[in-house]
Amino acid sequence: MSETTPPSGGADTLAPTQPQPTRQEARPKETFILAEDTAIRPFSFRATDEQLADLKRRIEATRWPERELVDDGTQGVQLALMQNLANYWANEYDWRR
């Protein structure tokens, strides 16, 4: 790490003896630990009618980006697929089942 001299002036500048953090130092390193037990276990979740209505409102209020510029998946998941999926979640999926 090298020391840098900040621009002279305001109180929010670093002192000449204080090194600036590098981009790499500013980001914490991510560590992933895989559990030994990878068994699939039942999971249950309960939502109120109000929570489900709010979810539907938020799905329907999605602000969609412009359509992708290519007809394949090179720019990520295609807009039409995501819109169909959102419509399914909002209007067809049985969240109580």
**For the segment 32-45, what is each residue's pLDDT rounded down to a tens digit?**
777 788 888 898 88
16 within some domain: no
From CA 69, how far away is CA 77, in angstroms rounded? 12
Whose tokens are 């090298």? That residue is 2
Task: State the Cα–Cα distance between residues 40 and 97, nearest whole angstrom.
Answer: 19
Domain enclosing residue 92, as ranges: 48-65+75-97
Higher confidence at residue 42 or residue 3? Answer: 42
Is the residue at 39 inside a domain?
no
Q: What is the pLDDT of residue 2?
A: 47
| Position 25 confidence tier, pLDDT thresholds 50, 70, 90 | low
What contacts 86, CB < 8 A, 6 or more positions away? 59, 60, 62
Within a domain: 79: yes
DSSP classification of residue 76: S
Residue 37 lies in a domain: no
Distance of CA 8 to the CA centre of its chain: 38
What is the tally of structural domains in the chain? 1
**Has residue 70 been placed in a domain?**
no
* Per-residue pLDDT, 83: 97
3-class SS of residue 53? helix
Residue bearing the bigger pLDDT, 31 or 20: 31
